[in-house]
Chain A
Amino acid sequence: DTAVSQTPKYLVTQMGNDKSIKCEQNLGHDTMYWYKQDSKKFLKIMFSYNNKELIINETVPNRFSPKSPDKAHLNLHINSLELGDSAVYFCASSQSSWEKLFFGSGTQLSVL
């Protein structure tokens, strides 16, 4: 039973398109995150939600919009995709912002 699941695993799309990535956690955690991992494996935080409330909103283009319908779900919508958006996007969750962080398996986004 997967703890943090995100879909799709792969996303190949054209520049200018709009796409969404979905994330769900069944750990009962209060805090969820979106991270972007570049080709050098560096994990950069994008957003953090605690119990559906936005806590962290790093310097991310406003084409990226997170949505948390409930504390078990955090989706990421991306408008007007650009070549530079190509990366692996990870969803993660933790009980609080300093407790163990658990990651999903990632979404490989390729913008052509």
Chain B
Amino acid sequence: QKEVEQDPGPLSVPEGAIVSLNCTYSNSAFQYFMWYRQYSRKGPELLMYTYSSGNKEDGRFTAQVDKSSKYISLFIRDSQPSDSATYLCAMNSNTGNQFYFGTGTSLTVIP
């Protein structure tokens, strides 16, 4: 079983829709959770960083962590064509020496 599972999509939504991106994981020691956005031919860009369970909001983006279910989500409100990218989740524990990545979800927001 992979450490982190993420639906690769592709996901296609109309402009203005609410987008939900998700990852599940198997290691209960994970405490640090990140979401990255990667545009075509660019490096991954850190969007959200959260510690332990709970929600974190930044503008149109909300990151949610449910450690009891080993499930994390990224919500994008009022999605824009500029949100079209691949979204990667990543996570780690404070005893681990590397980040564990999902396979990425490709999102297209149609004008």
Contacts and interface: CB of A to CB of B under 8 A. Distances in A.
Interface of A: 4, 33, 40-43, 45, 48, 55-56, 90, 97-106, 108
B43 A101 contact: no
Interface residues of B, number: 27
A45 B49 contact: no
A100 B49 contact: yes
Given A40-B103, A45-B98, A101 B46 contact: yes
B29 to A, nearest CB: 11
B88 A102 contact: no
Contact of B34 (A40, A101, A105): A101
B99 A41 contact: no
Contact of B104 (A42, A102, A104, A106): A42
Nearest to A10: B41
Contacts, number: 59
A98 B42 contact: no
B73 interface: no
B97 A55 contact: yes
Contact of A106 (B42, B86, B90, B106): B42
Contacts of B101: 42-43
Given A97-B92, A100-B49, A101-B90, A56 B43 contact: no
19 contacts: A40-B8, A40-B103, A41-B8, A41-B38, A41-B86, A41-B104, A42-B103, A42-B104, A43-B44, A43-B88, A45-B98, A48-B97, A90-B44, A97-B97, A97-B98, A98-B99, A100-B34, A105-B43, A106-B42
